[in-house]
Amino acid sequence: MANIIPFKAVRPTRDKVSLVAARSYQSYTLEQRESRLRDNPFSFLHIVNPGYKFDKQISGEARYNLVRNRFLEFKEDSIFVQDTKPCYYIYQITDRDHQVFNGIVAAASAEDYENDVIKKHEDTIEFREVVFKDYLKTVGFNAEPVLLTYPDNAVIAQIIAEVQKERSEYEFTTTYRDTHLLWKVDNDTQIQKIAQEFQHMKRVYIADGHHRSSSSYLLYKDLKENNPQHTGMEPYNFFMSYLIPESDLKIHEFNRVIKDLNGLSKEELLIQLDMMYRIENRGQTPYHPSKKHHFSMYLDGEFYSLYLRKASYTIETSLDALDAQILYKTILQPILGIKDLRNDSRIGYINGKKDIVSMKSAIDSGNYSVGFGMVPIFMEEMKTIADDGFKMPPKSTFIEPKLRCGVTIYEF
């Protein structure tokens, strides 16, 4: 039974939402961040990058406290207002390729996360969990929802369609040509129906945001243990989520790039790979695999195709069949010496929405020595791995939609 509840969002005023809304901080280049901070005083980037005001890089606890201060200033200046009643928020995104995503922004239960009602399919990087937990504890809010997915539901779909007949609270288009619309659901009957439909679901799945959900869970544990009056209804018992039906998800892969060859020469690496893969040199023409258990590799200015030798690899579980796991078990761990995917700084990730040339550029720049590409997984594959109790390696999926930060904010 999934406990998905309405909440009182802190939100930008209608006239400023397009100015406030921002992508995740890391997705901007330095030049893009500078431009937005310089030219847009309402950007949410001013909150998450408070050092800009002082022309100084600030980190750690000092930065967290300043983030809190900037957030409070936005509230004091009435850039942000808070709804007086707990609501659900229907959020629609239409991307530049005309794909439409419809979902509900709500508060999901940390206890459901603990009890595996909210299913996890991907492993996380430990230090990121702890850092973000400490950040949340200081700033006291969450501005970027975790993306959850649920089985397509006719009742919820009907309510969404009904609400969307009314004028939206927000409508804005980004410079990336994504159009965002938001409706507030404050009708008691509709709120009750939505809550009941989620309560009938035995499980929902994390699609994107494993680190954010894990950090919110760690925060819940900390605050619960240190609150003798804990009731289970405090805001820290929940975390902001965007829930969309499974049919709306768009799944891409994450390609891997490695900083060195673990002391091997190019020829030695190829010889070791030959034990598990049939290798073909594709030259300088960009190559992307077309089916499961096939990989692309970029090394020393050339692309290679790697075809898994099925007789050399045993598949016993759903996790064993996952390409990211095969890559780890046959190449990254035994040959390149990357044992701890959660914490090893030698590995980097490039999302598959970018073309394979992005991986080539990262290696040609000298920052990395070799890269591996794969095909994206299917939704059923992801669910099966989660249901079987396994965790995929970190960064096994890059999933859309991607929401903007600062459109709805959850305080705790």
Q: Which amino acid is at 71?
A: F
Q: Are strands 100-109 and 238-245 parallel, antiparallel or unpaired?
A: antiparallel
pLDDT-derived band at 138 (thresholds 50, 70, 90) equals very high
How many CB atoms are closer than 10 A to CB 323? 25
51 part of a folded domain: yes
Q: Say whether both 51 and 95 belong to one domain.
A: yes
Residues 103 and 200 in one domain: yes
Domain contains 387: no
User: What is the distance, to the nearest Å, from the Cα of residue 209 to the centroid of all Cα atoms in its chain?
Assistant: 4
Which of 29-43, 46-60, 279-293 is the least confident region? 46-60
Mean pLDDT score, 203-225: 94
Side chain identity, residue 57: Q
Of 70-74, 114-118, 395-399, which gets the smallest average pLDDT? 395-399
Nearest in space to 145 (alpha carbons), one of 64, 209, 82, 206: 209
Question: Could you tell me if 233 and 264 lie in one domain?
Answer: no
User: Does the N-terminal peptide bond of residue 376 adopt cis geometry, omega within 30 degrees of 0?
Assistant: no
Q: For the chain, what is the mean pLDDT?
A: 94
- 123 pLDDT higher than 80: no
> Percent of the chain beyond pLDDT 70?
100
CATH number at residue 361: 3.30.1760
Residue 369, pLDDT score: 97
Contact 279, 352 (CB under 8 A): no
Helices (H), 180-209: 188-199
> How many CA atoms within 13 Å lie on the side-chain side of 365?
12
Q: Average of pLDDT values for 375-388? A: 92
Is 375 in contact with 396 (CB distance < 8 Å)?
Answer: no
Residue 176 pLDDT level (bands cut at 50, 70, 90): confident
Per-residue confidence band for 204, with pLDDT thresholds at 50, 70 and 90: very high
217 and 279 both lie in a single domain: no
Query: What is the C-alpha to C-alpha distance for residues 275 and 207, in angstroms, rounded to an integer?
Result: 35
When divided into structural domains, the chain yields a total of: 2
> 67: exposed, middle or buried (C-beta count within 10 Å: 0-12, 13-18, 19+)?
buried
Q: Which amino acid is at 300?
A: D
Please give the pLDDT value at position 355.
76
- Same-domain status, 187 and 279: no
Residue 142 lies in a domain: yes
pLDDT tens for 311-366 read: 989 999 999 999 999 999 999 999 999 998 878 899 999 988 877 888 999 999 99
Token pair recorded at residue 106: 């709500």
Asked if 93 and 219 sit in the same domain, the reply is: yes
Q: Kindly state whether residue 390 falls inside one of the protein's structural domains.
A: no
Question: In which residue are the tokens 């965002």 written?
Answer: 180
What lies within 8 Å, CB to CB, of 261 at 6+ separation is 268, 269, 336, 369, 370
pLDDT at 185: 98
Residue 246 belongs to domain spanning: 4-251+401-411
The model's pLDDT over 260-311, given as tens digits with 9 standing for 90+, comes to 999 999 999 999 999 999 999 999 999 999 899 999 999 999 999 999 998 9
Q: How confident is the model at residue 56 (pLDDT cuts 50, 70, 90)?
A: confident
Please indicate, yes or no, whether residues 179 and 265 belong to a single structural domain of this protein.
Answer: no
Say if CB 114 and CB 200 are below 8 A apart: no
- pTM given for the model: 0.85
Residues 15 and 152 in one domain: yes
Same domain, 93 and 232: yes
What is the pLDDT at residue 403?
87
Burial environment of residue 309 by CB neighbours within 10 A (0 to 12, 13 to 18, 19 or more)? middle
What local confidence, expressed as pLDDT, does residue 113 receive?
97
Residue 146 forms part of a structural domain:
yes
Q: What is the CA radius of gyration of the chain?
A: 22
* Same domain assignment for residues 310 and 197: no
Q: Which amino acid is at 109?
A: S
Residues 50 and 85 both lie in one domain = yes
User: Which pair of structure tokens corresponds to residue 78?
Assistant: 């009435």
Q: Is 40 a domain residue?
A: yes
Is the pLDDT at 240 greater than 90? The verdict is yes
Say if residue 240 is in the same domain as residue 260: no
Residue 42 has pLDDT above 80, yes or no: yes
Predicted confidence at residue 353, as pLDDT, reads 80
CA distance 399 to 176: 17
Confidence at 165, pLDDT banded by 50, 70, 90: very high
Look at residue 194 and tell me if it is in a domain.
yes
Which among 244, 195, 206, 212 is positioned nearest to 93, based on CA atoms?
244
Which residue carries 């209608």 as its tokens?
14
| Residue matched to tokens 């954010």 | 212
The arithmetic mean of pLDDT across residues 14-41, rounded, is 92
DSSP characters for 154-184? HHHHHHHHHHTTSPPSEEEE-TT--EEEEEE
Residue 183 confidence (pLDDT) above 90:
yes
**Residue of 11, 21, 27 lying closest to 44 (CA atoms):** 21
Query: Is 296 among the domain residues?
Result: yes
Strand partners, 243: 104, 148
Say what percent of the chain tops pLDDT 90: 80
Give pLDDT, residue 354: 77
